Amino acid sequence: MKSSVITFPGSNCDRDMDVALKKFGFKNKMVWHADAELPKSDLVVLPGGFSYGDYLRCGSMASKSKIMQSVINFANSGGMVMGICNGFQILVETGLVPGVLLRNKYLEFICKNVFVKINDKKNKYFKNVDNEVLEFHIAHNEGNYFCTNDQLKEIEDNNQIAINYCDKNGKIEDQFNPNGSLKNIAGIFNKEKNVLGMMPHPERMIDTSLSGEDGSLFFKNLINNLK
Amino acid sequence: MIVNEQVAVDHGLKKDEYAKICELLKRTPNITELGIFSAMWNEHCSYKSSRLHLKKLPTKGKKVIQGPGENAGVIDIEDNDAIVFKIESHNHPSFIEPYQGAATGVGGIMRDVFTMGARPIANLNSIHFGSPQHKKTKNLLRGVVHGIGGYGNCMGVPTIAGQTSFDSSYNGNILVNAMTLGLVKKDKIFYSKAAGLNKPVIYVGSKTGRDGIHGASMASASFDEKIEEKKPTVQVGDPFTEKLLLEACLELMAGDSIIAIQDMGAAGLTSSSIEMASKGNLGIEINLNKVPCRETKMTPYEIMLSESQERMLIVLENGNEEQAKKIFDKWNLDFAVIGKTTKSKKIELYFDEEKVADIPVNTLVENSPMYDRKWKKAKLPKKNKIKKEDIKHLKIIDVLKKILTNPNVCSKEWIWQQYDHTVMGDTIQKPGGDAGVVRVHGTDKAVAASVDSSAVYCWAHPLTGGKQVVCESFRNLISVGAKPIAITNCLNFGSPENEENMGEFVECVQGIGEASEYLKFPVVSGNVSFYNQTKDEGIKPTPAIGGVGLIKNYKNMITMDFKEIDNLVLIIGKTEGHIDQSLFARNILDEKNGPPPEVNLFNEKNNGETLLKLIDNNLIKSAHDVSLGGIITAVAKMCIKGKKGINIKKPKYLINEIEYFFAEDQSRYIIEINKKDFKKVADILHKNAVHFDELGTINKNELYINDKTKVTIDELSTSNKSWLTNYMSK
């Protein structure tokens, strides 16, 4: 399986993503934001970080960079595109997934483990994951998902919510919401579910010495689903 | 502007220093030259009050590749890998403008590390605030934490450990010390020594603005009521540009075109150019019209003294300019050839085709003032005798709960959750343990780092306190299973012109020197911050020690959380019952006098090295050093972290329970072992003449003392975690 990770100026989880993808069998290429063409890929990842220093609005400048037109075309033709953290912020700025990401409710950066409940498994990202709940890791300042009532209705009707913040038993309640996200939303799909944006970083949970191993589970499953 | 003695005094120079400048130049300096002298001769850059004493520190060792004098120290961690590290203060700016002050402190220290070719892999910090009741404390704490996070998080470098304390002596002068570790290949280390004639001198990074002019001079003076007016001397950071600068520099460093490189830190273009020239015994000529400026009509004086951030000066091998420029263009950074190296051994500056400065380099560096300041030796205070009636009503569990909510002991999760501590995917021990640990990417090795200070001990007796901090750092590294290699120090003191403050400095340095010599734990880099003083009121002496150690196989790393029910808990090291200057004495008995606990360097080394042997033999399940709050506090923290309880049986000692549980005797560790390993462990400890006591057995979730009093771990955990969160949300 071939993957591409885009490096924007200010990306800082690009290497971590490269390490994770390779560990689970992807042949990964790093792609510079100023390039025009995407290499042939089965998966394109927009990594975490602070593209363009979060200036103007998180993700907004990166969403206009040269490579993004190719990424958008790739997504619109059904290609798998995953945005993690700042990558999710870039995705909402391109409009590939609906909504916006506001500043965290308590106005503070949060770095910690959280639990997320998988809401939908009829997609290539979470199909065949046995667990209902995964332990993931977040590190962000602007992860507070928000959208209009109409958008929310559409998202819910289409089952576009990918994961919600919850407790270890899968209970989705306000007290388990780390950043004030609407409906505890931690990640969403586009309508076709080939594009996923999520705040948690699965690439930081890929061996027992790190924060946990549910990231390994996610990537192993992902590559199998793509085969 | 006409330069005279008064103008020099306004620049922070002393009258006799100004006379010396005129004598060295054999003329009156112009205003640009005076600015340059004031920047180079202030305390912050010249170390004029401290140099004499710093020379006495042990700086060499088998693992030391580079000691003090470069941008940062470098140590060998085998297999052609090396760690570059340093700690630096940003105290004065952080008090004036906490967010930017702290942020640029973090940015500055990271630059020091990647200037040497190393990719930063971990950040740490030591931050100290006034009393929690003081009206400024909360905002300063919030601003500093946001600033540290704002910069470090954006750079994508994990903040893996730190230290936060509160003491009313910091009411008017907070301390913000930032430390960075970087990883480099031993044969790809870059230095700041210029070499060769007519080599291009290149400016890269951000443009120069009017921010931070005289920042280094501001940091070399005491505060008074007009401090708010100094806000413009605080630099403004842009971590995004620094991230680009990091990547661009590392890309250029992959080739071999760089002769020398130096970041523009304190005193900006002035100190960076002079440092490179001085180390290379050369001259440098700069055309200031070529310096990329952010603002219009900047004068030579402003360009030379600006402390705009995210800038570097490079001496390049001829003919590589085009290739190098391409890299900086790719990262959208300024790149300008601004001058060349010369044989004149002078700094010669041109602006609008006029020579605006002409100063021999040695007058700025070797001939800079050095003072043997008067200092007062501290007496060892007399021991207090605890009166029985003062303590007989105290219940151990109640005192423990009080101690766990003490601002200096309570959990600092509210702080470190705001720092990205997991980016780069190699953090295997997060903040909140004895030391932070990161893997050396792609290898079995890991590097442990911790930062420590004990201002109360240093204040009570500077010599003992100085020794103690080094020992504490040693202990914290050993507690995670790392072999201590070297330290960096950040020496935060009051005014060197005050004999008592100067005495504190001299004796703390002596203590640091003695301990690091004995423990073979040399000082490879550091920084001195004097004048942490508002009017006549100085801070408690606060040398902060950043220690670095190596774990050969990261799978053998130790953490402090209790692991398994029925395991045995022992204390390594002897408990004598030293209560003076303990958290217990100061906060529970309100007794602020008396000597700090004694430091026995033989025991320190022997106990630590023996524990490492036990770890090497896979006999240790968890470990934690005993520090503030004594045995019971250490054990309670291990319970909280491991979500387990313990049945404690106090050994039959001559001293009473209070002394036994709350004393802060040094060189002690709590360890958890499997019962079946007891004989093996005891044998190793006996063989190495290490004293130990059996303390108790791990249980499910309660802390029992002598089968009588008990408390649930949940209750202790809540007390420990709630203080800071509650304080910050009020």
Q: What is the mean pLDDT of chain B?
A: 95
Contact of A108 with A147, CB cutoff 8 Å? no
Nearest CA to A80 among A145, A126, A22, A129? A126
How remote is the C-alpha of B605 from its chain's centroid? 23
Q: Given a cut of 70, is residue B132 above it in pLDDT? A: yes
Instruction: Give the gap in angstroms from C-alpha B42 to the nearest C-alpha of chain A.
Output: 34
Q: Determine the pLDDT at residue B655.
A: 75
Q: What is the mean pLDDT of residues B180-201?
A: 96
Assess B439–A contact: CB distance below 8 Å, yes or no: yes
pLDDT bucket at B222, cuts 50 / 70 / 90: confident
Q: Give B534's strand partners.
A: B223, B537
Residue-wise pLDDT tens digits, B337-356: 999 999 999 999 999 999 99
Residue B165: CB partners within 8 Å, gap ≥ 6?
A: B127, B128, B129, B407, B408, B453, B455
Partner residue opposite B331 with nearest CB, options A9, A49, A204: A9
Q: Determine the pLDDT at residue B388.
A: 80
Q: Given a cut of 80, is residue B220 above it in pLDDT? A: no
Partner residue opposite A109 with nearest CB, options B153, B422, B428: B153
Q: What is the 3-state secondary structure (H, E, C) of B220-257?
A: CCCECCCHHHHHHHCCCCCHHHHHHHHHHHHHHHCCCC
Q: Determine the pLDDT at residue B1.
A: 78
Residue B365: CB partners within 8 Å, gap ≥ 6?
A: B40, B274, B275, B278
Q: What angle do CA B352, B342, B291 make, to 5 degrees?
A: 35
Helix (H, G, I), strand (E, B) or coil at B273: helix
The Cβ-side half-sphere exposure at B218, using a 13 Å CA radius, reads 28
Q: Determine the pLDDT at residue B577.
A: 92
Burial annotation B298-327 (CB, 10 A radius, 16+ → b, else e):
bbbbbbbbbbbbbbbbbbbbeebeeebbeb
Please state, in angstroms and rounded to a whole number, the distance separating the CA atoms of residues B626 and B661.
10
Nearest CA to A4 among A51, A45, A36? A45
pLDDT bucket at B216, cuts 50 / 70 / 90: low
Q: Determine the pLDDT at residue B430.
A: 97
Instruction: Give the gap in angstroms from C-alpha B102 to the nearest C-alpha of chain A.
Output: 16
Tell me how far apart the terminal alpha carbons of chain A are, to the nearest angstrom.
7
Tell me how far apart the terminal alpha carbons of chain B are, to the nearest angstrom.
52
Q: What is the 3-state secondary structure (H, E, C) of B561-588?
A: CCCCCCCEEEEECCCCCCCCCCHHHHHH
Residue B684: CB partners within 8 Å, gap ≥ 6?
A: B610, B613, B614, B617, B619
Residue-wise pLDDT tens digits, B681-722: 999 999 999 999 999 999 999 999 987 788 999 999 999 999
Instruction: Give the gap in angstroms from C-alpha A130 to the nearest C-alpha of chain B.
Output: 25
Which DSSP helix (H) or strand (E) runs through B610? helix B601-616
How remote is the C-alpha of B619 from its chain's centroid? 32
Q: What is the mean pLDDT of residues B207-230?
A: 75
Contact of A146 with A102, CB cutoff 8 Å? yes
Nearest CA to A98 among A195, A196, A190? A190
Q: Determine the pLDDT at residue B654.
A: 66
Q: Determine the pLDDT at residue B219.
A: 66
Partner residue opposite A111 with nearest CB, options B238, B421, B439: B421
Q: Given a cut of 80, is residue B66 above it in pLDDT? A: yes
What are the strands, taking DSSP E only, across B62-194?
A: 64-66, 73-76, 81-89, 119-129, 159-166, 175-185
Q: Given a cut of 80, is residue B176 above it in pLDDT? A: yes
Q: Given a cut of 80, is residue B653 above it in pLDDT? A: no
What are the strands, taking DSSP E only, across B444-551?
A: 446-452, 483-492, 523-529, 533-534, 537-538, 542-551
Best interface-test mutation with A: which of B420, B427, B428, B724 has the largest number of A CBs within 10 A? B420
Please state, in angstroms and rounded to a whole number, the distance separating the CA atoms of residues B59 and B70.
13
Nearest CA to A185 among A78, A101, A112? A101
DSSP count for chain A of H helices, then E strands: 5, 11
Chain B CB contacts of A110 under 8 Å are 417-418
Percent of chain B whose pLDDT exceeds 70: 98
ipTM: 0.97
Residue-wise pLDDT tens digits, B139-149: 999 999 999 99
Chain B CB contacts of A109 under 8 Å are 149-150, 153, 418-420
Can you read off the two tokens belonging to residue B586?
Answer: 């100061």
Chain B CB contacts of A9 under 8 Å are 240, 243-244, 331-332
Q: For A114-123, B123-132, B176-185, B529-538, which range has the lowest pLDDT when averaged over its residues?
A: B529-538
Instruction: Please give the single-letter amino acid code of residue B232.
Output: P
Q: Given a cut of 90, is residue B443 above it in pLDDT? A: yes
Q: Determine the pLDDT at residue B706.
A: 83
Contact of B256 with B323, CB cutoff 8 Å? no
Please state, in angstroms and rounded to a whole number, the distance separating the CA atoms of residues A86 and A138.
11
Q: What is the mean pLDDT of residues B59-77?
A: 97
Assess B420–A contact: CB distance below 8 Å, yes or no: yes
Residue written as tokens 């590097």? B447
Which DSSP helix (H) or strand (E) runs through B272? helix B268-280
What are the strands, taking DSSP E only, across B597-668?
A: 622-625, 645-648
Q: What is the mean pLDDT of residues B556-580?
A: 97
Q: Given a cut of 90, is residue B55 above it in pLDDT? A: yes
pLDDT bucket at B730, cuts 50 / 70 / 90: confident
Residue A56: CB partners within 8 Å, gap ≥ 6?
A: none
Instruction: Give the gap in angstroms from C-alpha B129 to the nearest C-alpha of chain A.
Output: 20
Inspect the interface and report whether the beta carbons of B154 and A53 lie closer than 8 Å.
yes
Q: Given a cut of 90, is residue B265 above it in pLDDT? A: no
Residue written as tokens 């969160």? B725
Domain boundary assignment for chain A: 2-226
* Number of A–B residue contacts, CB under 8 Å: 81
Q: Given a cut of 80, is residue B225 above it in pLDDT? A: no
pLDDT bucket at B300, cuts 50 / 70 / 90: very high
Inspect the interface and report whether the beta carbons of B439 and A55 lie closer than 8 Å.
no
Q: What is the mean pLDDT of residues A40-54?
A: 97
Domain at A2-226, CATH class: alpha beta
Instruction: Give the gap in angstroms from C-alpha B45 to the nearest C-alpha of chain A.
Output: 31
Q: Determine the pLDDT at residue B92.
A: 93
pLDDT bucket at B234, cuts 50 / 70 / 90: confident
Please state, in angstroms and rounded to a whole number, the distance separating the CA atoms of residues B457 and B628.
11
Which chain B residue shows the shortest CA-CA distance from A206?
B425
Q: Give B598's strand partners.
A: none
Please state, in angstroms and rounded to a whole number, the distance separating the CA atoms of residues A178 and A144.
9
Instruction: Please give the single-letter amino acid code of residue B376.
Output: K
How remote is the C-alpha of B15 from its chain's centroid? 34
Contact of B181 with B293, CB cutoff 8 Å? no
Inspect the interface and report whether the beta carbons of A204 and B422 lie closer than 8 Å.
yes
Helices (H), B126-264: 137-155, 215-218, 239-253
- Verify whether residue A111 is a known catalytic residue: no
pLDDT bucket at B390, cuts 50 / 70 / 90: confident
Inspect the interface and report whether the beta carbons of A55 and B240 lie closer than 8 Å.
yes
Q: Given a cut of 70, is residue B502 above it in pLDDT? A: yes
pLDDT bucket at B224, cuts 50 / 70 / 90: confident
Catalytic hit among A85, A137, A140, A142: A85
